[in-house]
Structure 1
Amino acid sequence: MTRNSISRRGFLATGAGGVLAASFGASPARAATDVAFQLSWLPSVQFAGSYIAKSRGYWNDLGLSVSLNPGGPNAPVEPPVVAGNALLGISAADYTAAAVAQGAPFRIIAVAMQKNPFVIASLPDKPVNVPKDLEGRKLGMALANTPVLKALCSLNDVDFDAIEIVPTQYDAAPLLAGQVDCLLCWETDLPVAMMMRGIKPVTMLMADYGYALHSQTYIATQDSIANRRADLIALLRGEIHGWNDFHADPDAAAALTVDMFPDVGLNLDAQKLQAALQVPLMFTDVTQAHGFGWFTDDSIAANIKTLALLGQDVSADLWDRSLLEEIHAS
């Protein structure tokens, strides 16, 4: 698996690649513990909960001075976390599993996106409504995502060989030009780009058809969980407050994001659309019952099954729910 997210999320922040040479941060009003939090990509409403926590002083109130380090094509999440240069990072279950297989001592301690954002996007005149509809269609995608497609086919008894894969850049243009019948993409980006052009695509969320893979996960090292537990709990508490505020007013969260990063080229209307599409991915019956970031034993089992289809063998101890249990119990 490669970081197709480099192209997948980059277009929503066009021109941002060199704008942020360093993380942003505010001086605390009082002495506080300095903490670095490594985000997975360039600024966008994808991380609005963190921006809210920062701007509203939630972390300062909990005794932390948090630096939010932007990610990007040259700023992967895992190295600074494993090296101790960031206490917490935003990753995904497959990236974390790959790092652990190479000896990284990571644990997933919370999950932001309860539903994986991968979709098959098509147009209303030739929609892909269920996985079986992929048979006989031309699917535009990055070849690096072939294991993802094979996993979806295996989970839904779809003939993989009956799909014509067309290698494409991460762009809606091939679909709009009729070169392909559908695209493999994230719910929160290419569909947003099409809607901004007045085109309402049909999106089939792969998570609704068995593709269970935790995305936008929070990772920490076992050493940090053991020896910096109080800081991790405070960091997660502020993050949870921020995302609950996002849930209450996604449009305001989008506006805050655009205001905080005036030089990145973010479009407010696009950010509002993205925020609206994020809500059902991040807030579900599980979060309503247990709180933001929660994950269940059933979801762990489903992730293990999906990861096996992606060629990654993991066990349930990749996940550690103990910090969330402490936070939400109080």
Structure 2
Amino acid sequence: MKTLMTAALAGTMMTIAGSSAFAQDAYPLTFQLKWVNQGQFAGYLAAKDLGYYDEAGLNVTINPGGPDIAPEQVIAGGGADVITTWMAAALAARERGVALVNIAQPFADTALEMVCSEESGVQSTADFPGKTLGVWFFGNEYPFYAWMAQLGLATDGSEGGVEVLRQAFSADPLLQGQADCISVMRYNEYKQVLDAGIPEDSLTLFNFADEGVGMLEDGLYVLEDRLQDPDFVDAMTRFVEASMRGWDYVIENPEEAAQIVIDNDMSGALTLESQIYQVGVVGSLIGGPALDMDSYEQTVATLLSAVSPDNPAITAEPEGAYTTIITDALN
């Protein structure tokens, strides 16, 4: 009996030692999200919780974002190895000296839309003049200003133009009658509008991509100089592959993935029902991970035509803003 117990103890100690050695050998990566933990990032949360990153030899720390956290600033300050952010913010940061490079583009379609209430009377873009439109800023305003420039509409509230309401990240301006139309993410604020009891068939919805001013949303970015390190490139290749395994799981198991999101919710404000909805919508956006060049070119064209009175997105065609070295290795 004593011999069996000793053998069992020895086996346990060997397992612990092996796990410790694995943890020490795993490549450490800090991943900064664009927003708080929610279904928008379910693929990454699933990859971590289900052990996909561990199996890839990676020790991944996922840091949630928030309204006061800019992933571009975090990585520039050394607080992250890889970030997920919208291409508009990444290209703007690159032009301003933060040499971000897109290494993969899991989000192939855009979820940014503008929704208008029935009371607004807006049924087409021809009805925009004289209306108040809610717009997100902090880099999210670029497609809106490109759209208004395309329509020939002033954005200073002058006659024949539109009034711009600086919108918080909620649906409140529409629900409270402060704006005729507001910015929404299809997987987030749009659900808030529906949850308020507003019939979907009473709303007018505009998709920015359909209007010709789409921008690529959640992509993966690293600093350019890190790509000179073969070990880092190898680690990022494994990271992208494991992340896409996570997204595959989310698409195939939306309810289980929603529960993983709830388990990682630091606010306590999320509901399983809301995350099942969000995961379902986000899953429909996933493509890639290779960057689609037509979508990239539309994003650049949108940013170059965005006449923002506060802060132009980019002023010149970007160079070196993406690489295929990671996604090519996955083929």
Between the aligned partners of 2:194 and 2:164, the Cα distance in structure 1 is 24
Question: Which structure has the greater CA radius of gyration?
Answer: 2
Q: Distance in 1 between matches of 2:141 and 2:79?
A: 33
Matched residues, percent identical? 22
TM-score by length of 1: 0.79
What letter matches 1:315 in structure 2? Answer: P
Give the secondary-structure state (helix, strand or coil) at the position aligned to 2:110: coil
Distance apart, 1:156 and its partner CA? 4.5
- Aligned pairs for 1:176-187 within 5 A: 176-187=175-186
Amino acid in the other structure paired with 2:182: L
Match of 1:267 among 268, 271, 276: 271
- Aligned partners of 2:46 and 2:249 also within 8 Å: yes
TM-score normalised according to structure 2 size: 0.79
Give yes or no for the alignment of 1:153 onto 2:148: yes
The corresponding residue for 1:117 is 111
Equivalent residue, structure 2, for 1:306: 302
CA contact (8 A) 2:39 2:282 kept: no
- What corresponds to 2:190 in structure 1? 191
Which of these residues, 39, 63, 72, is aligned with residue 69 of structure 1?
63
- For residues 1-330 of structure 1, what are the structure 2 equivalents within 5 Å? 30=23, 31-124=25-118, 128=122, 130-142=124-136, 147-156=142-151, 161-199=160-198, 200=200, 201-227=203-229, 228-261=232-265, 264-280=268-284, 282-283=285-286, 287=287, 292-310=288-306, 311=312, 312=314, 313-327=316-330, 329=331
Q: How many residues get paired?
A: 295
SS in 1 for 2:97: coil
1:146–1:326: structure 2 CA closer, same or farther, 3 Å change rule?
closer
Whether the 8 Å contact between 1:116 and 1:212 is mirrored in structure 2 is: yes
Work out the CA distance in 2 between the residues paired with 1:50 and 1:293: 13
Q: Deviations over 1:138-189 (max 9, x none)?
A: 3233576655422112334556543233445444333234443211232222
d(CA) in 2 for partners of 1:114 and 1:90?
14
Q: 1:68 to 1:212 in 2, by over 3 A?
A: same
Deviation of 1:28 (Å): 8.6
Paired residue secondary structure (2:90): helix
- How far apart are the structure 2 equivalents of 1:128 and 1:192? 20
| Equivalent-residue separation in structure 1 for 2:226 and 2:141 (angstroms) | 35
**What is the distance in 2 between the residues matched to 1:250 and 1:220?**
29
Counterpart Cα distance in 2 of 1:174 and 1:244 = 35
How many angstroms apart in 1 are the aligned matches of 2:177 and 2:144? 21
Specify the SS of the correspondent of 1:204: strand
Deviation, 1:261, is 2.7
Residues in 1 aligned to 2:114 and 2:20: alpha-carbon distance in whole angstroms: 44
- Structure 2 residues not aligned, in runs of 5+: 1-18, 307-311
C-alpha distance 202-300 of structure 1, shift in aligned 2 (>3 A)? same
* Structure 1 unmatched ranges of 5 or more: 1-25
Q: Is the 8 A contact 1:45 1:271 kept in 2?
A: yes
Instruction: Please give the per-residue CA displacement for 1:86-125, whole angstroms capped at 9, x wherever unaligned.
Output: 2211111121122212222210111232233221112356
**Alpha carbons of structure 1 residues 278 and 125: separation in structure 2 relative to 1, 3 Å:** farther
Question: Which secondary structure does the structure 2 equivalent of 1:112 belong to?
Answer: coil
Q: What is the distance in 2 between the residues matched to 1:183 and 1:27?
A: 51
How far apart are residue 249 of structure 1 and its match? Answer: 2.5
CA contact (8 A) 1:81 1:88 kept: yes
1:87–1:232 CA contact under 8 A, matched in 2: no
The separation in 2 between residues aligned to 1:73 and 1:124, in whole angstroms, is 30
For 1:266, the aligned partner's letter is L
Name the stretch that deviates more: 127-136 or 205-214.
127-136
Q: Distance in 1 between matches of 2:86 and 2:154?
A: 27
Looking at structure 2, the residues matched to 224 and 167 of structure 1 have their Cα atoms a distance apart, in angstroms, of: 36
Rounded Cα–Cα distance in structure 1 between residues aligned with 2:42 and 2:145 = 32
Deviations for 1:23-78, whole angstroms, at most 9, x for unmatched residues?
xxx98965412211111121111110001100111111111111111122443212
Q: Is the 8 A contact 2:135 2:144 kept in 1?
A: no
Partner of 2:6: none
**Is the CA contact 1:250–1:272 (under 8 Å) kept in the aligned structure 2?**
yes
- The aligned counterpart of 2:14 is none
Secondary structure in structure 2 of the residue aligned to 1:37: strand
